[in-house]
């Protein structure tokens, strides 16, 4: 008992405690590094599920805001995973599941199906997102094949906030987005948060618009952003990291 209280014993105990704390801190930091992007994917998934619940309760404007938040989260999680060198098969599966939930199921419910044809359009939209996520591999670095579904979702959410009463226009827009997603044309991997400064400014502006701006300003901002990517993918958004 008295040997433990000797200077050597106290030093050994303090050393073990210090090493234990340092090991625990290192494990915690490594865990956070490996799961930071997964946390953003989970947040995207939660936003999608909340959007679905809002749509089922006919709270469509709130559902649109959640979709726009999911759009921003999706752009961030890939950048964080690459920045922290934490890309993994599990993270990719989680990201795809979150994207399908938010940009497929939740976005399709904005179309408010009332009959057979409307139901077919909703099913076609969901299946287009499913095909885009599962089967469209470009095999070209920094390039997508087919329009990325987050941009289609952001466009529909922004359109809904501007023309909430005109569901027919929204459905026509959704049909165009289906064609863009199933088309095998190429789109650049824009890497907004890892590229030129102006792209980061655009992203920061999107965050400020979604969180603080009125609905009309936020929707116009997101529509301008996504439309420029859809129509001029390489002329404007070609990746130059």
pLDDT per residue as tens digits for the range 155-179: 999 999 998 878 999 999 999 999 9
In which band, very low, low, confident or very high, does the pLDDT at 136 lie, cut at 50, 70 and 90?
Answer: confident
Domain-located, residue 103 = yes
Of the ranges 13-22, 24-33, 66-75, 187-196, the best mean pLDDT one? 66-75
Closest to 86 measured CA to CA, from 41, 23, 20: 41
Domain-located, residue 10 = no
| Cα four-point dihedral sign 73, 75, 78, 80 | negative
Domain-located, residue 2 = no
| Cα four-point dihedral sign 142, 200, 101, 223 | negative
Between CA 108 and CA 52 the distance in angstroms is 9
Domain-located, residue 72 = yes
In which band, very low, low, confident or very high, does the pLDDT at 13 lie, cut at 50, 70 and 90?
Answer: low
In which band, very low, low, confident or very high, does the pLDDT at 140 lie, cut at 50, 70 and 90?
Answer: low
Between CA 112 and CA 57 the distance in angstroms is 11
Mean pLDDT in residue range 124-143: 85
Asked if pLDDT for residue 132 goes beyond 80, the answer is yes
Between CA 193 and CA 160 the distance in angstroms is 27
Query: In which domain, by residue range, is 179 found?
Result: 17-237
| Cα four-point dihedral sign 121, 127, 132, 135 | negative
145, 137 in Cβ contact below 8 A? Answer: yes
Domain-located, residue 213 = yes
Domain-located, residue 4 = no
For the chain, the domain total comes to 1
pTM: 0.85
Domain-located, residue 5 = no
Phi/psi at 187 (5° precision) = -130, 140
Pairing of strands 186-188, 143-145: antiparallel
For the chain, what percent of residues have pLDDT higher than 90?
60
Mean pLDDT in residue range 186-194: 87
Phi/psi at 94 (5° precision) = -65, -40
Closest to 96 measured CA to CA, from 54, 150, 157: 150
Instruction: Please tell me the least confidently modeled range out of 24-38, 111-125, 205-219.
Output: 24-38
Asked if pLDDT for residue 3 goes beyond 50, the answer is no
Between CA 207 and CA 222 the distance in angstroms is 10
Asked if pLDDT for residue 59 goes beyond 70, the answer is yes
Between CA 200 and CA 68 the distance in angstroms is 17
Domain-located, residue 54 = yes
In which band, very low, low, confident or very high, does the pLDDT at 230 lie, cut at 50, 70 and 90?
Answer: very high
């Amino acid at each position: 008992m008295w040997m433990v209280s000797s200077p050597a014993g106290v030093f050994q105990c303090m050393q073990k405690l210090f090493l234990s704390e340092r090991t625990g801190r290192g494990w915690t930091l490594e865990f956070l590094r490996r799961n930071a992007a997964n946390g953003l994917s989970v947040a995207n998934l939660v936003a999608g599920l909340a959007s679905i619940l809002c749509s089922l309760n006919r709270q469509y404007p709130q559902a649109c805001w959640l979709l726009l938040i999911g759009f921003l989260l999706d752009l961030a999680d890939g950048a964080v995973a690459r920045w922290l060198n934490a890309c993994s098969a599990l993270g990719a599966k989680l990201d795809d599941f979150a994207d399908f939930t938010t940009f497929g199921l939740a976005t399709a419910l904005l179309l408010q199906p009332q009959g057979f044809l409307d139901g077919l359009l909703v099913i076609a939209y969901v299946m287009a997102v499913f095909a885009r996520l599962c089967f469209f591999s470009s095999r070209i670095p920094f390039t997508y094949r087919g329009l990325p579904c987050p941009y289609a979702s952001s466009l529909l959410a922004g359109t809904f906030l501007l023309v909430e009463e005109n569901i027919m226009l929204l459905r026509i827009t959704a049909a165009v987005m289906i064609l863009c997603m199933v088309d095998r044309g190429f789109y650049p991997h824009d890497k907004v948060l890892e590229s030129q400064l102006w792209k980061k400014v655009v992203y920061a502006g999107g965050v400020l618009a979604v969180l603080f701006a009125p609905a009309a300003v936020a929707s116009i901002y997101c529509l301008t952003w996504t439309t420029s990517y859809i129509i001029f993918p390489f002329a404007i958004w070609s990746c130059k990291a």
